[in-house]
Structure 1
Amino acid sequence: MSEHETTEAAAPATPLLRVVKGDPTAEELAALVAVVAARNAAVAAAAAAEKPKPRSQWGHPVRQHRGPHRVGPGQWRASSW
């Protein structure tokens, strides 16, 4: 390991939670950490399980192009899609 890698590993990570006001007990902090961790796990699981929705073909740019006009009986009616 180089000196730079050792310095990064020794540097403390930023805290996930910070008490701004009051003096919570150890049990209150443990309950808060458990709730936040459970929510983060649920959000991560939901994001991993979510499948991408199929794209609607209604607004697809290919639909703006019309096909060639065909000549023949009944084609005038068929030309209106």
Structure 2
Amino acid sequence: MSLDALRRRLDRIEARQGAGHITSLCNLAGHPAPIAAEAVRDWRAWVADGRASRNGDTLILRAPVLTAEQWSAAHEPRSGSLQ
């Protein structure tokens, strides 16, 4: 691969990342508004930590990945509830 081809490929990748401001938010994690606002302000840290990703000008907040035990504990029926 030539240096020019590598530069063009890098330019295409960087263009998809978006260098401008965040214009939309996809809050898949269901964070409250103050936390989502903090994520928009400090989006680079959130992306670096894997808590969010960026697609152009859209910031996507990810829900944490749960283990099977954590998911079971969060979704097991409570006693006295109707089923």
Using structure 2 for the length normalisation, give the TM-score: 0.25
Higher radius of gyration, 1 or 2: 1
TM-score between both structures, scaled by the size of structure 1? 0.25
User: Which structure has greater strand proportion?
Assistant: 2
